[in-house]
Amino acid sequence: MVRNDPVEFLHRFKSSKDKELAGFLSSQFAYGKVGVLRQFLEKLFSLMGESPWKFVMEGDFSSLKGLYYRFQKADDIVYLFIILRRILEYFDSMGAMLQNFYTGDTRKMIWQIRDELIGSDERLTFFFPKPSESNPMKRWSLYLRWMVRKDEIDVGLWDFIPKNRLVIPLDTHIFKIGKCFGWTRLKSPSWKAACEITDVLKSFSPDDPLRYDFFLCQSVGINGKCTGVKTTDCIEKCLLLQNS
């Protein structure tokens, strides 16, 4: 099992419906300090029991009333689960919902989901973002990576989105690496920056550019403490520079 990464929670379940829900929840709360996130997810999944899908379908969310995580208060979390229940009642699974809306562009897919299911309601904008040219869509991109790719980390449940249509989850670590190596010259994280970095990775792996994401984020970014600027010290330690 992958440790110290939110993807570990997917691997606790056997059924695809449970994995899809576990992936959605783990990715959508994936911000802030890893230790605090992990504590929150442990609590959340313990409340859901053996089957997140069954928990959502049963519709009793009273156990979530005291739960919160950073910007998301208990009412926000409960409302998210109400929306998830509507999704499962109509589509039966998260994968079936996304496949219904996917037409070749993952970002437009997410925007259409918001338009159809959330509309003008502002309460869940964090989870279902409005159309924006600047939003890098990091958490959704992370979710899609987990669901589409298949290896010892990603579970690869969906085949309706090609791997080469995925865009890298642009967190602070990936952005710093991209700046350091000139993969993007943009000054702040954005969807365009994520696409530029993804295009560079496609030059190494045209069919599966996100195969490098976990290594870059964990080994070079988090553990390697990439600052985004080449120094004498990092040149001696950087795993990318050592293998270039």
Structural domain total, the chain: 2
Distance in angstroms (rounded) separating the CA atoms of residues 9 and 45: 8
Same structural domain for residues 81 and 28? yes
pLDDT of residue 1: 55
Alpha-carbon 44 to chain mean position: 17
Q: Which of 3, 4, 22 is nearest to 155 (CA)?
A: 22
List the domain range (segments joined by +) for residue 9. Answer: 1-163
Q: In this structure, what token pair is assigned to residue 33?
A: 């300090």
What interhelical angle do 172-180 and 191-204 show, nearest 10? Answer: 60
Give tens-digit pLDDT for 105-137. 999 999 999 999 888 888 999 999 999 999 999
- Domain co-membership, 8 together with 97: yes
Query: Are 155 and 175 in the same domain?
Result: no
Averaged pLDDT, 213-227? 87
Query: Model confidence over 174-207: pLDDT tens digits?
Result: 999 999 999 999 999 999 999 999 999 999 999 9
Rounded to whole angstroms, what are the CA distances from 224 to 205, 220, 235? 23, 4, 11
Measure the CA–CA gap between 182 and 41, rounded to whole angstroms: 35
User: Is 37 in the same domain as 155?
Assistant: yes
- 135 and 244 housed in the same domain: no
44, 48, 51, 54: CA torsion to nearest 10: -130
Same domain, 142 and 22: yes
Closest to 135 measured CA to CA, from 190, 172, 184: 190
> Residue 149: is its pLDDT beyond 90?
yes
Is the pLDDT assigned to residue 244 strictly greater than 70?
no
According to DSSP H, which parts of 16-171 are helical? 16-28, 34-48, 52-58, 74-91, 94-101, 106-113, 138-148
